[in-house]
A and B are shown apart, each in its own frame.
Chain A
Amino acid sequence: MLVSMQGLTVALPSGADRSLAVDKVSFEIDANEIVCIVGESGSGKSVTAHAIMGLLPRGVTATGGSILFDGVDILRQPPEALRKMRGCDMAMIFQDPMAALNPVVTIGRQIAEQICAHRAISQGRALKQAAELLGRMGLPAALLKSFPHQLSGGQRQRVMIAMALSLSPRLLIADEPTTALDVTTQAQILKLLKEIQAERQMSVLLITHDFGVVADMADRVVVMRHGAVVESGTTNAVLGAPSHAYTQALIAAVPKGEAILPPLPSTDPLISVTNLSKRFRRGGFFSHAPTIAAVDGVSLTLSRGETLGIVGESGSGKSTLARCVIRLLDPEEGEILFDGADIAHMRSGALRPLRRRIQMVFQDPFSSLNPRQTIGDILIAGPRAYGEDIKDARARAAEILRMVGLTSESLRRFPHEFSGGQRQRIGLARALMLKPDVLIADEPVSALDVTVQAQVLRLLDDVRAQMNLAMLFITHDMRVAAQVCHRVMVMRHGRVVETGPTRDVFAVPTDAYTRQLLAAIPGRLTATQ
């Protein structure tokens, strides 16, 4: 038994939305095994991990229980003893590798710093060891002299792992290590972690919100909710036969990556985009930076009643494409035929009446609603901008709120009084107020918890069917695309890589990149078994 946590209770400072972050949590980690703690936001999984390292933030204190690491109680150790253990016996890597590395110190010195803090060796020798570590992570030794901002996300996370492993700790804690990374990079990092664990026979505690990751990685899993352990056991047992209702809901909410919707019979397209291009130039007026083609010669069609998914990683151009179609950005080249008219380069005067028929649902529930306006004002802003009567608009607002699952009483309240999922519903309601023909959903569920995600996706699909909308669905998550899209279009570096009915693309992907994306879906192998 390497780690034995008994009844850990962690209190939050007064003023937080609840009093305990962690409530009498107990579990164990054996040597040479991977344990996953899975839960949604606010479950206390991250705080638990920080408590093991003795890294609880100011104001957050452990008030009860014990954490035995190799027989030594972490909670009762003096700070200096804990410091000696950190980085040496146990190490931790965090979610956002850009924020987790000191921006003004070179990679080499940051790795060497850790080695020198625990071993009495010279800086030069430590740097040599750092170079070896980087090599084992598949990174060139030249990176020793680089700064964090010069590396990619995946490279930075490998550096973090290299640092964490530098003194061969017996326990590695990884707090959502892949959440901030692209899907393909995610798969690589997880594979790397698994290899290292097997090679060094160390214990890994992996914090995640994604049950797919659990299926791929974990020997045992602990499910947490609102600070307490809901269920725990071996991965096979918990995934195969979850006993607690919450676990069941959590597993059920994860999109399986199986294409559900059959393709629609082809009809005349409502929107037809041909050869669209949008370029950006970094820097201001006097910059010499090269232009980046964010969208490069993209064509697509969209018919009434169908959902076209645009899938890609960050930098693929999917969001830029969406913003060009809705004319939040002006494309350089190409045409966008909407109901016969080319809106790609239309002046705002002529564009206005057509504009209202294409609406958008945004990604971030916390910044897509004006915090200083009531829901009522937010909803009637669109109709009012087109000269509609206030009373009529308010009446329709109440009706549409009901359609998205909220009461008309919400009209008088402010955004901060609602949860993330509710705010996305309000965002959808706002888009529907103008009775659009086309709905563009830009990563509408990416910022939501898994259980809420499933509900909002269902809602979007229902609304599309009910109002016979044409929907453009932007996402980075293939599993989500499989759930709601009839057809799917894969983008990479601004270009279309593959397009076709979802079922076909998922079953027999023709392009190597699509295959890569599909292979990177966590838990896919286990799910289809």
Chain B
Amino acid sequence: MSRLHFIAMRLVKTALVVFAVVLLSFLLIRLAPGDAATVMAGQSGYADEAFMKSLRAEYGLDKPLPAQLATYLGTVARGDLGTSYVRRQPVLDIILERLPNTLLLDAFALVVAIAGGVWLGAAAARRPGSAGDASVTVLSMLFYAVPQFWLGMMAVLVFSVWLAWLPPFGIETMGADYTGLARAGDIAKHMVLPGMTLALYYLASYARLTRTAMIEVADQDFVKTARAKGIRESQVARRHILRNALIPLVTFAGLQASILVGGSVLVENVFSWPGIGTLAYEAVTARDNPLLLGIFIVTAVLVSLFNLVTDIAYSIADPRVEMGR
């Protein structure tokens, strides 16, 4: 099985997942209590009979179920995720406008989480049972137990209110109109608090995972062989222990992405970061169901693509992976 075939199979799998997501959205609308048109119009204030009638016609709600599904699939395939009646804009446009902000924040958090987590976990694993190791474990447990949104609020309280080091809200200073490098710097300053808040939970996960993986790998026979060959201890740690311990982390990164999106919703909310997370919240509050569903579909697609990338990375990292599956 060549790598190309492997990638092709994974693409097919991703496509199936996306299809399942769209199917799920369709079912959710139909299964929700109340008539589908009401669900889709939400509380947009347009709920007069003429509007409902046009809605029914547009979505073919008086036709049998399979026909409705076909219509829905057709519209989604064309990139039309429906219209938000609350905002009077196509859903896809609204989402695409805010998407880059979320991607920026999530990417920052992911990088910090992985880099910091692996570093901490590796350090802890080097001296298991030591004070340093114990403190890493305790800190990890603390960050697991903390509600992310609350942590964000505490961060605002400490760093913005009491210490006034960092700005508490938004993505850039209002009305300042920075450009170029100054603008990047401004955004970066605004990104620190929400980014770190988002990252900390995943940092704890990575630290624990790296630590466990490294301790387990260190016990394996091939590490003993490496030492029997008289290789320098630093090289043993890097090329034999860490290299093998990193393998499960790659898959983990893929799984984390879907949880990251959820965390993003909460953190963006606390910091009023203008991304998809706050958009989701606004959609929920306004009962703007087409927008909410659109967000679900878009985020699911993005996460599946990210998983595709990590799957490929995994197959590169671990040569034992049978390409056929």
Contacts and interface: CB of A to CB of B under 8 A. Distances in A.
Q: Do chains A and B touch in the complex (CB under 8 A)?
A: yes
Contacts of A91: 228-229
Interface size, A (range): 20 to 34
A94 B324 contact: no
A459 to B, nearest CB: 35
Interface in B213-266: 220-222, 224-233, 235, 239-240, 243-244, 247
Interface stretch (A33-41, A97-105, A491-499): A97-105
B317 A104 contact: yes
A337 to B, nearest CB: 39
Q: Of residues B232, B233, B317, B325, which shows the largest number of chain A Cβ atoms within 10 Å of its Cβ?
A: B325
A117 B243 CA distance: 18
A391 interface: no
A144 interface: no
Contacts of A284: 325
A286 B227 contact: no
B318 interface: yes
Contacts of A163: 229
B320 interface: yes
B319 A147 contact: yes
Contacts, number: 87
Contact of A103 (B222, B228, B232, B325): B222
B48 interface: no
B244 A287 contact: no
B129 to A, nearest CB: 10
Interface string A441-464: 000000000000000000000000
A94 B221 CA distance: 8
Contact of B229 (A99, A117, A283): A117
Contacts of A85: 230
B3 to A, nearest CB: 15
Nearest to A113: B231
A114 to B, nearest CB: 4
Given A100-B221, A100-B222, A102-B240, A87 B228 contact: yes
Contacts of B247: 104
Contacts of B320: 103-104, 147, 149
Contact of B244 (A84, A103, A283): A103
A358 to B, nearest CB: 36
A117 B244 contact: no
B49 interface: no
B224 A88 contact: no
Interface in A69-98: 83-88, 91-92, 94, 96
Nearest to B320: A149
Contacts of B325: 283-284, 286-287
Contacts of A117: 229-232, 235
Contacts of B58: none
21 contacts: A53-B228, A86-B227, A86-B229, A91-B228, A94-B221, A94-B224, A102-B225, A102-B239, A103-B244, A103-B318, A104-B318, A104-B320, A105-B239, A113-B231, A114-B231, A117-B230, A117-B235, A149-B320, A283-B322, A284-B325, A288-B1
Interface of B: 1, 220-222, 224-233, 235, 239-240, 243-244, 247, 317-320, 322, 324-325
Given A55-B224, A101-B225, 20 more contacts: A86-B227, A87-B229, A87-B231, A100-B221, A100-B222, A102-B243, A102-B244, A103-B244, A104-B247, A104-B318, A104-B320, A114-B230, A117-B230, A117-B232, A117-B235, A118-B230, A149-B320, A283-B325, A284-B325, A289-B324
